[in-house]
A and B are shown apart, each in its own frame.
Chain A
């Protein structure tokens, strides 16, 4: 009976020690590789070494064409191109931001993505952002910019949902300036 106990104890020790020692021997020249496989290093390199301005693989979207203004609904639609610098396909599920008057930094309204956009790795996708003026924003445009046919506004406080990951960018990181028709133009 003691022999059986001894044998079982030896087996217990062997099945614990052999895999650990085997792994240590296999990675004796690269102990870090025991905990960080090459796949993790590759993913980190791909994500951090993107083509983006900040090296994170993230680039600000660029506006294409002129915004389309709907005078009745007090809304406008602007088209942006967004390059997916990440090494993986992404889906931009939502995009929200605030619209401010560039001259006075007065909040004029908000902007949101019209529909989710899927962009393959390395490709550029087109997104339509819908903007809506608030009543306070229109009052400001009427009082401070009533004689201007077009006003300069900025999109700030971007929040983007990419494949379930919410990315919040503050003003120092991303600010999109554009010129839109003044809904309160009194000319």
Chain B
């Protein structure tokens, strides 16, 4: 009976599921005021909402396309590898696929941290990664007016789903030694 890398199969399927889920549910969400401004962010779909207006930033859209294609190819590569882990072409597929969900996850978190640090240091806007914070902003064109804005942010369940997918792909790499081991004669 052909060996299957079940971790890889689950990781690949989960990665594809993460893509679909992320199109509708953001990994991280920021709300300003009473839903006055809303930012929905994930590596495959990021959009900004100002009341009834929803828009995206073209550069971020391009990064999202990269994220989507990367995860898509990673998921497909992991699925193909998992079914035939002992084949000669399986190892390159595994090497191609297993790191990308983790890297996508890490780049997303690092990107968020960098953005919050830049906003805090340059614009003095205290943007929380998780939880709530009140940010005070002085309006340059209206002296004597100070705005205090309640910011609520948090990682959504799709973020943790992506973490599980990344973990399964790493587990698949570790499990590969067992499923692809050449039996001793």
Contact = CB atoms under 8 A, between A and B. Distances in A.
A35 B148 contact: no
Interface residues of A, number: 42
B62 A163 contact: no
Given A15-B66, A23-B58, A39 B143 contact: no
Contacts, number: 113
Contact of A164 (B53, B89, B93, B150): B150
Given A23-B62, A34-B58, A40-B55, A169 B149 contact: no
A93 B35 CA distance: 14
B183 interface: no
B58, B66, B70, B91 — most chain A CB neighbours (10 Å) = B58
B66 A20 contact: yes
A145 B74 CA distance: 81
A169 B146 CA distance: 6
A174 B146 CA distance: 12
A165 B58 CA distance: 28
B146 A37 contact: no
Contact of B148 (A4, A8, A37, A166): A166
B69 interface: yes
B48 to A, nearest CB: 8
Contacts of B70: 12, 15-16
B145 to A, nearest CB: 6
Contacts of A119: none
Interface string B131-161: 0000000010111111111100000000000
Contacts of B33: 163-165
Contacts of B35: 164
Secondary structure of the B contact surface, majority rule: mixed
Interface string B31-62: 01111100000000000001101011111011
B147 A170 contact: no
B145 A173 contact: yes
B77 interface: yes
A172 interface: yes
A33 B144 contact: no
A142 interface: no
Contacts of B113: none
22 contacts: A1-B89, A5-B92, A8-B77, A19-B63, A19-B65, A22-B62, A23-B58, A34-B58, A37-B57, A48-B141, A56-B141, A56-B142, A58-B142, A88-B51, A163-B34, A164-B35, A165-B33, A165-B149, A167-B148, A170-B145, A173-B143, A173-B144
Given A34-B59, A58-B145, 17 more contacts: A1-B92, A5-B95, A8-B96, A15-B69, A16-B66, A19-B69, A22-B62, A35-B59, A56-B141, A58-B142, A91-B34, A164-B33, A164-B35, A165-B33, A166-B149, A167-B145, A168-B148
Sorted nearest first, the 5 A-B pairs with minimum C-beta distance are A164-B33, A173-B144, A164-B34, A166-B148, A39-B55
